[in-house]
Amino acid sequence: MTHYKANFAPKIALYEPDIPQNTAAIIRTCACLGAQLEIIEPCGFLLSDKRFKRVVMDYMETKNINFYQSDEEFFEAKSNDRVILITTKAKKIYTNFKFNIRDTLLFGKESAGVPKKVHDLLRQKIKIPMVDKKRSLNLSTSVAIILGESIRQLNI
């Protein structure tokens, strides 16, 4: 794999993540691809959880992770950015979406997605197409797919 120095940080946001291994894998992905991670609390686990620590290893770079105490705090901080919801309920496919440098890519919690109020708030929604009768991909896999496409489009 080619190594590069990220000249900007794409932003991945997790809405109340509840599986420690997924969040740890996403932290590793963000660290390796130069992305900023934003976590909207509460998390469904503690950062001291041994399942989390086993996967995150030494990739827990807190300077690349922002925590928000609530979705209200998160959206207030994002008033000048475009927040794109990645959801199985979207109509637009991620490869047909034009990413930009100020995007924050929002992923819902593994067990429930995001609440209706967040769906209603956001105009931009995209999905990863899947074969019929499948519910969803693993969250960390979805983050890697969408982040990879964003990086590709922005020529990072």
Structural domains counted in the chain: 1
Query: Does 6 reside within a domain?
Result: no
Q: If you average pLDDT over each of 21-25, 62-66, 67-71, which comes out highest?
A: 67-71
Residue range 69-120, pLDDT digits in tens? 999 999 999 998 999 999 999 999 999 999 998 899 999 999 899 999 999 9
Structure tokens at 71: 């979705």
36 close to 13: Cβ distance less than 8 angstroms: no
State how far the Cα of 16 lies from the Cα of 101, in Å rounded to an integer. 24
Q: Model's pTM, two decimal places?
A: 0.90
State which H helix or E strand residue 24 sits in.
helix 20-33
Is residue 98 assigned to a domain?
yes
Determine the structural domain holding residue 58 and report its residue range.
Answer: 11-153
Cα 156 from Cα 91, distance rounded (Å): 27
- Report yes or no on 128 lying in a domain: yes
